[in-house]
């Protein structure tokens, strides 16, 4: 019997060879939304990682929907051509399934790259833009004050998500996911902490869900019926007055009826002052509850640091897939080592066949002893 983590999983017509997913991770390295050599290297490495699915980073559906000025985008022909080159290269070197996360940053946009110091571009910076959100409430003191989105802009935003999905389909991406979490635009609409609107897009949960659900419907209609479409949603805002698990289950049920194939359940990111109980696997119970109560496949994420934690989450039915983020940046061969740890045999790229542990790794103690004896 293979370990649960290494069993295949099917979403619509897409066969995933195992349950391990590379979590979407912004690289902040694109140029006006266009992928470049870094993406070639980064995604190329992950394309031979043996992960069941590699999620491409949060990809802006509009230029003003970027988080930082280095965010990847799919709003223009140039963006599409640049990402197409990367996808083609990934297909030539590896066989990993590739998914994309479609996103709009909402009030957390117009930022520097994380390593540039300072969070936001000064308003006079030539690449700064005015961030937009359901209500004019800043993410942090001193941060840019968002412009409240006008009623007549909403159709354009919905169409931008759909247009980016069509572009992603054209360049052969296998799966798409709508980003509704981490304090970005759709989460801004969902959370009462950031949505103070008094029109039909604010107030009750039904109203706050209206834009995310419209976006999901539009993307589902634009995305081929055979290809899976999911979403990343919030299990909790970790703050009184914010989104709760009950809200997550409601949203999950609504998304399910609109053809959603899976949900990645994450949390936080909406306000700075939330206190989050970080610990290995700490968000897996959120995925478990959505899976159980909404009856939809889930993907767990968050400090899934070791193969045995990942395997237990799937084996115990908390989630159908696990997303691993920093673990893959630290070690793009995470799956190879998970297979070794769990006693699974996986295929290697032929060029790397000789790196199988049984072929080259030997106990190090005798060598250390020999070096000691030889001395200088
Ligand atoms: C460098 C970096 C970039 C990230 N970018 C994204 C992103 O584009 N979209 C997203 O939903 N989450 C993003 N995240 C969050 C990860 O997908 C993941 O949810 C989080 O890192 C927790 O998983 P981990 O403990 O395995 O790293 C990012 C995290 C990191 C470390």
Domain extents in the chain? 4-374
User: Residue 182 CA: which ligand 1 atom is closest?
Assistant: 11
How many residues appear in the chain?
376
Q: Is 182 in the pocket of ligand 1 (CB under 6 A)?
A: yes
208 pocket-lining for ligand 1 (C-beta < 6 Å): no
pLDDT at position 366: 86
**Nearest atom within ligand 1 for CA of residue 304:** 26
Quote the pLDDT of residue 289. Answer: 98
pLDDT of residue 18: 98
Q: Tell me, in angstroms, the distance from the centre of ligand 1 to residue 89's CA.
A: 24
**pLDDT at residue 298 in the model:** 98
Write down the pLDDT at residue 375: 86
Cα-to-centroid distance, 70 and ligand 1 (Å)? 16
Q: Is the CB of 179 under 6 A from ligand 1?
A: yes
Q: Determine which residue's CA is closest to atom 14 belonging to ligand 1.
A: 25
Measured in Å, residue 145 CA sits from the centre of ligand 1 at 25
Q: What is the pLDDT of residue 142?
A: 79
* pLDDT recorded at residue 56: 98
Look at residue 118 in the predicted model and tell me its pLDDT.
72
Give the pLDDT confidence score for residue 143 in this predicted structure: 82
Q: Is the pTM of this model over 0.75?
A: yes
The pLDDT value given to residue 254: 98
**Residue-by-residue pLDDT tens, the chain, 376 positions:** 889 999 999 999 999 999 999 999 999 999 999 999 999 999 999 999 999 999 999 999 999 999 999 999 999 999 999 999 999 999 999 999 999 999 999 999 999 999 998 788 988 899 999 999 999 999 988 788 999 999 999 999 999 999 999 999 999 999 999 999 999 999 999 999 999 999 999 999 999 999 999 999 999 999 999 999 999 999 999 999 999 999 999 999 999 999 999 999 999 999 988 889 999 999 999 999 999 999 999 999 999 999 999 999 999 999 999 999 999 999 999 999 999 999 999 999 999 999 998 888 888 888 888 899 998 8
Distance (angstroms) between ligand 1 centre and the Cα of 370 equals 44
Catalytic annotation on 303? no
Q: Does the beta carbon of 167 lie inside 6 Å of ligand 1?
A: no
Architecture label for domain 4-374: Alpha-Beta Barrel (3.20)
- Whether ligand 1 lies within 6 angstroms of the CB of 25 is answered as yes
Closest C-alpha to ligand 1, atom 28: 25
The pLDDT score that the predictor gives to residue 1 is 80
- Indicate if ligand 1 lies below 6 Å from the C-beta of 230: no
- Supply the pLDDT for residue 69: 94
Q: Which of 72, 325, 331, when mutated, tests ligand 1's pocket best, judged by the most ligand atoms within 8 Å of its CB?
A: 325
Is the Cβ–Cβ distance between 166 and 159 less than 8 Å? no
Q: 177: Cβ below 6 Å to ligand 1?
A: no
């Amino acid at each position: 019997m293979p370990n649960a983590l290494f069993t295949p999983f099917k979403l619509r017509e897409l066969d995933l060879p195992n349950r391990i997913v590379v979590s979407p991770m912004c690289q902040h390295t694109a140029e006006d939304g266009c992928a470049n050599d870094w993406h070639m290297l980064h995604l190329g490495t992950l394309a031979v990682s043996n992960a069941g699915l590699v999620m491409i980073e949060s990809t802006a559906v509009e230029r003003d929907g970027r988080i930082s000025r280095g965010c990847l985008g799919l709003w223009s022909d140039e963006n599409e051509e640049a990402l197409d080159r990367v996808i083609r290269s990934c297909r030539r070197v590896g066989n990993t399934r590739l998914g994309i996360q479609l996103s709009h940053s909402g009030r957390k946009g117009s930022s520097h790259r994380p390593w540039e110091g300072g969070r936001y571009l000064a308003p006079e910076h030539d690449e700064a833009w005015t961030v937009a959100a359901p209500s004019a409430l800043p993410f942090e003191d001193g941060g840019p004050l968002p412009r409240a989105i006008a009623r007549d802009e909403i159709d354009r935003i919905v169409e931008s998500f759909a247009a980016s999905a069509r572009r992603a389909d054209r360049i052969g991406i296998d799966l798409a996911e709508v980003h509704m979490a981490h304090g970005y635009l759709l989460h801004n609409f969902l959370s009462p902490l950031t949505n103070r609107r008094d029109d039909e897009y604010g107030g009750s949960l039904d109203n706050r869900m209206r834009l995310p659900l419209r976006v999901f419907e539009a993307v589902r209609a634009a995305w081929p019926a055979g290809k899976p479409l999911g979403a990343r949603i919030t299990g909790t805002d970790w703050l009184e007055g914010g989104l709760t698990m009950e809200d997550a289950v409601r949203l999950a049920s609504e998304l399910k009826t609109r053809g959603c194939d899976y949900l990645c359940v994450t949390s936080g990111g909406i306000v700075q002052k939330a206190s989050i109980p970080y610990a290995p696997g700490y968000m897996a119970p959120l995925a478990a509850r959505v899976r159980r109560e909404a009856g939809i496949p889930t993907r767990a994420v968050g400090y899934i640091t070791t193969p045995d934690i990942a395997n237990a989450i799937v084996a115990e039915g908390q989630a159908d897939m696990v997303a691993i983020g920093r673990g893959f940046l630290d070690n793009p061969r995470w799956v190879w080592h998970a297979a070794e740890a769990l006693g699974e045999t996986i295929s290697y790229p032929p060029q790397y066949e000789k790196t199988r542990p049984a072929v080259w790794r030997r106990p190090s103690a005798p060598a250390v002893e020999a070096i000691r004896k030889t001395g200088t």
